[in-house]
A and B are shown apart, each in its own frame.
Chain A
Amino acid sequence: MKSLNEMPLGSKTTVVSISKEASVRRRLMDMGVVPGVEVEIKGKAPLGDPIEILLRGYKLTLRKNEASNIFVK
């Protein structure tokens, strides 16, 4: 299984799970990152981190190490 930070720019994928160890797990869930949701990698900040994703019609930014806790198809 891949994690979200490994996905290339412009790719679309579906969230499978969020690691239970992630300290921002609840925050991500509240922001709509739950299993089954579709996300698109929209952009990367100038130094490649954080990344910008599109989900549920809005843009969310998160650091790569936070994205590494999100597993995708």
Chain B
Amino acid sequence: MNTIALVGNPNSGKTTLFNALTGTNQHVGNWPGVTVEKKEGILNFKNKKYNIVDLPGTYSLGAYSEDEIVARDFILKDEPDVVINVVDATNIERNLYLTTQLLEMGTKVIVALNMMDEAKEKNISIDIKKLSKELGVPVVATIASKKNGIEKLIEESINMMSAGNVPQNKINYGKDIDNEINKLKEIIENSNLNTEYPSEWIAIKLLEGDEYISEITDKNILKIAHESGDAIAIAAMEPELIIVDKRYEFIGNIVNKTVKKPKEEIITKSDKIDKVLTHKWLGLPIFALIMLIVYQLTFAIGEDILQEGLNAGMETFTASVESFLVNVNAPELLTAFITDGILGGVGAVIEFVPLIAVMYLLLGILEDSGYMARAAYVMDRIMRSLGLHGKTFISMLVGVGCNVPGIMATRTLDSKKDRMIAILINPFISCGARLPIYLVFISAFFPKHKALILFSIYAFGFLVAIIMGKIFSKTLFEGESSYFVMELPPYRFPTLKGTLLNMWDKVSSFLKRAGTTIFAVVTVLWILSVLPYGVEPYSQSSILGKIGTVIAPIFKPAGFGTWQASVGLFAGIVAKEAVVATLGMVYAGVEEGAQLVTAIQGAFTPLSALSFMIMTLLYTPCAAVIGTIRRETNSTKWAVFTALYTFAVGWIISVAIFQIGGLFGLS
């Protein structure tokens, strides 16, 4: 099957084009070894199938980020048959910068000049024939959101596949630089340097001082490259800058010849919206309001409506399965295994889907409309005074739904320091699964102050996250740089199809990542509670009870050193939603309800209840989160570190609460 790769700047409409080409025939995975998302799909055209690979959206193809390295390695090493370069027609000058780098690679490139409708609105006219001639590659005008020009783009791509080597335009770097490039190219070709990259491209990258390429090149060549660099450097401009400058000069010449736009930039709708949304006084309150609405809608639609419906459905289903099994005289243990073990596990996973789906739907709309960039922009100053990045707030907010997508949302952070801190502090943000724990304890001890206590717990989680972020920024990542250089894309109406596809991507990846873990651990937990065979389920003599008995003394200074509480916390490390159900089983023999509340009232005091709630807020996140941290940081070390330090923080604070509270005569 022939492969077509899509490259382009963020916000160029690349994903919309990908959706137009593949429809729902797509899947999302990860590039091996890195945390960059890999999107692939199948295009059916005139009874033939084509593999479409959506490369990460980048501004350049250097070694600036993992995204850029993934994109360029795919083009040079995997050699797709055609590369479609999506160019935003309203922002052609900066978009063509990526095109110049594709030309340097010597691959078969087709430019999809996208968003032609918006360009027309802005009175920008582009001579497409001339642009194609100047670039030396085919250019097809498209409006991906309306599927305009897609067929022609596909036909051109197929034509190009069968064509021989397509002659391409080369960027004129000027005689001096061209000479050095040729010299280096020859040396690389005659050396035993064995890479999958073209030698001319390596030569340019060496002159640009590309860190990644410099590392895989041997010392002798590197030395000559440095000499070449010194030879072409002119006052105040080193080779790297000269090369970037030449690319922009090349683009400038082409744009002058082919693009006509109004002299005075017309005030666009985007400008008008930005006047309000990033306003000096209104910017922050509007941001707070939008986030409040997202939060309210997520819980109102996701939890109260959809989740309750699902739970009811699940209960009916479980009950009918149970009565069926009883009717056919299935062994008691098998019935229990299927209804409590397996269906309990499935239920725990499904329960989260509505919450996550609604949250992703709303955040996806904000993202696609262009508001998320504004949110980071207006929040950055406040967040920075706390040692965090403007975008970190978004990942913390997503964490309120579930920490797994919260941690995945840190992918938009460019610098390693900002991203690592955002990942490490996310578990302190109280996720949806922890809410039922607070609710049980609050109705047992503080029913009159429900809203206040609940709000305080969430706020305390944010506070601890921020304090730890500040500490990490001054210790573990001291001296590493944090930066904020971000495009503000024009506001756009999200398309229904794009939004839904995006939501489905996220939900299915959540199901795959977290779902399998939650399902497995809930099932395993159940097994631990009924073994050894014949024991009273969830009693102290079950394996689960024995584990609790061993751990219990650790929690004595925090006021809840009982085997039951320990079992609950242990269950929480596998999945937070298992805490209430487990406490219910060990205390009252029921999963939830009034009996559990009464049992909790007997087993805890108000002070130890508070200390226990803070412990569940802060201590080790669930297995799915730990697994996600391992994948996102590509390091087991950081995953283990997070599991341990959050436990330490939770233990210290809950012990402090219980001990200090005791000094003041509280109990």
Contacts and interface: CB of A to CB of B under 8 A. Distances in A.
A58 B486 contact: no
B278 interface: yes
A45 B90 CA distance: 24
B202 to A, nearest CB: 18
Contacts of A45: 278, 283, 377-378, 380-381
Contacts, number: 109
A30 B60 contact: yes
B91 A61 contact: no
B59 A30 contact: yes
A43 B484 contact: no
Given A45-B278, A46-B280, A46-B283, A52 B93 contact: no
A62 B381 CA distance: 11
A63 B484 contact: yes
A56 interface: yes
B244 A34 contact: yes
Nearest to A18: B241
B274 interface: yes
A41 B98 CA distance: 25
A57 interface: yes
A24 B484 CA distance: 9
Interface in A10-30: 17-18, 20, 23-24, 26-30
B377 A52 contact: yes
B278 A43 contact: yes
Given A27-B483, A44-B280, A45-B378, A61 B488 contact: yes
A50 B484 contact: yes
A17 B236 contact: yes
Contacts of A63: 380, 384, 483-484
Contacts of A29: 240-241, 244
Contacts of A48: 381
A26 B278 contact: no
Contact of B483 (A23, A37, A54, A59): A23
Contacts of B380: 45, 49-50, 63
B373 to A, nearest CB: 8
Contacts of A47: 381-382
Given A58-B91, A58-B487, A61-B486, A43 B274 contact: yes
A29 to B, nearest CB: 5
A44 B346 CA distance: 49
Interface in B263-277: 265, 274
Contact of B248 (A34, A49, A50, A66): A34
Contacts of A23: 481, 483
Interface residues of B, number: 43
B281 A31 contact: no
Nearest to B63: A26
Contacts of B93: 32, 56-57
A7 B92 CA distance: 27
Nearest to A59: B488
Given A44-B280, A61-B488, A49 B381 contact: yes
Contacts of A34: 241, 244-245, 248
Given A35-B245, A43-B278, A46-B283, A57 B381 contact: no
Given A43-B278, A49-B381, A32 B97 contact: yes
Residue of A29, A46, A58 with most partner-chain B CB within 10 A: A46
B504 interface: no
Contact of B265 (A27, A57, A66): A57
B328 interface: no
B488 A60 contact: yes
A27 B64 contact: yes
A20 to B, nearest CB: 8
Contacts of B237: 35
B605 to A, nearest CB: 45
B584 to A, nearest CB: 47
B381 A60 contact: no
Interface in B208-263: 236-238, 240-241, 244-245, 248, 261
Nearest to B245: A34
Contacts of A59: 487-488
Contacts of B49: none
Contact of A52 (B92, B238, B278, B384): B278
A62 B241 CA distance: 20
Contacts of B62: 26, 30
Interface of A: 17-18, 20, 23-24, 26-32, 34-37, 43-50, 52, 54, 56-63, 66
Interface of B: 59-60, 62, 64, 90-94, 97, 236-238, 240-241, 244-245, 248, 261, 265, 274, 278-281, 283-284, 373, 377-378, 380-382, 384, 390, 414, 481, 483-488
Task: Give me the 9 closest cross-chain CB pairs, A-B, nearest first.
Answer: A47-B381, A30-B60, A59-B488, A46-B283, A56-B93, A23-B481, A29-B244, A24-B483, A63-B484
18 contacts: A23-B481, A31-B94, A32-B93, A34-B241, A34-B245, A37-B248, A45-B283, A45-B381, A46-B381, A49-B381, A50-B377, A50-B390, A52-B488, A58-B94, A61-B486, A61-B487, A61-B488, A63-B384
